[in-house]
Amino acid sequence: MSPWPQSPKYQNFIVSFPDERILQITLNRPQKLNSIDKATSREIQAVWEAFDQDESLWVGIITGNGRAFCTGADLQEWNRMNQTREVNSMDAPGLAGLPRRSGKKPIIAAVNGICMGGGFEMIANCDLVLASASATFALPEVKRGIVPVAGCLPRLTRTIGLQRTMDLVLTGRNVNAKTLHDWGLVSQVVDAGADVASAAVKIAQQMCQNSPDSLIVGREGVRLSWESGSVEEAVSTLADQWYPRLMGGVNFAEGIQAFVEKRPPNWVNSKL
């Protein structure tokens, strides 16, 4: 049952709840290879903001319908903007609220097909990336006189390294899911005939067996180390600012007590 009274209806994507604690966004503009226009981007950003505020939801998933996961921004819209000299802002949090999202809760990208440009920028900042074995990835902006400046370049450099990121950015070539798995960006490759979104739901369900407080604080600790240039600075922030909040929640005591009593813990929604 959806924790929201009714699943809201949107023109270019679907919001669903495959489990009571899991929110899924499915990009649904297959005739445009799930490219995202500005209005749709703002709508999806608002959904992620609501997701972070809804205590009953613990994990998010984003996937696509059809041949593509996401081919990035709608370049026909960009062309119209260029003709009217409209400024195309790259402010945070970026396309669909993801490339520069800080956020609070984990989001899994379930890449079902073509993932290019802004779509690649989106997954570079997701917390886990699952991909169909048939999925293809590229940063083809260089072929269109564009550069991916919405956040993926430093993030990919941290994740897959300088030379591999240079390879993708300066050639614009396609790579497959196995390559990105070998490079460390894709966490799991799903058989081409299987439903990658269903595989993501299973991982999200595993996450939801754990304390929702620990999901939030554990994610924050990993991201602090990823974003910071100093390991000790990241450790200090986690220990000094986040650990006291974790200890102050009822789930901290419940997890330890359940272990002592040899029973499953009874988690409550996070107040962090």
Peptide bond preceding 93: is omega within 30 degrees of 0, i.e. cis? yes
Query: Which residue segment(s) compose the domain that 196 sits in?
Result: 13-207
Number of domains in the chain: 2
Q: Within a domain: residue 3?
A: no
> Which CATH number do you get for residue 62?
3.90.226.10
Rounded Cα distance between 230 and 225, Å, is 7
Residue 58 inside a domain? The answer is yes
**Residues acting as catalytic residues:** 121, 141
Asked if residue 130 belongs to a domain, the reply is yes
116 in the same domain as 134: yes
Is there a domain that residue 4 lies in?
no
Q: Are residues 240 and 150 in the same domain?
A: no
Same domain, 47 and 166: yes
Six token digits for residue 230: 């100093």
CA 102 to chain centre: 10
Q: Do 202 and 105 share a structural domain?
A: yes
Specify whether 132 is located in the same domain as 86: yes
Q: Which two tokens stand for residue 75?
A: 């370049």
pLDDT tens over the chain, length 272 residues:
344 556 678 999 999 999 999 999 999 999 999 999 999 999 999 999 999 999 999 999 999 999 999 999 876 765 666 666 665 666 768 899 999 999 999 999 999 999 999 999 999 999 999 999 999 999 999 998 989 998 899 999 999 999 999 999 999 999 999 999 999 999 999 999 899 999 999 999 999 999 999 999 999 999 999 988 899 999 999 999 999 999 999 999 999 999 999 999 999 999 99
pTM: 0.93
Residues 26 and 143 in one domain: yes
Q: What distance in Å separates the CA atoms of residue 197 and residue 201, rounded to the nearest whole number?
A: 6
Verify that 101 and 231 share a domain, yes or no. no
Q: Are residues 81 and 144 in the same domain?
A: yes
Q: Which of 155, 138, 142 is nearest to 94 (CA)?
A: 155
Asked whether 219 and 60 are in contact (CB, 8 A), the reply is no
In a domain, 1, yes or no: no
Q: Is residue 270 part of a domain?
A: no
Residue 199 lies inside a defined structural domain of this protein? yes
Is residue 106 located within the same domain as residue 237?
Answer: no
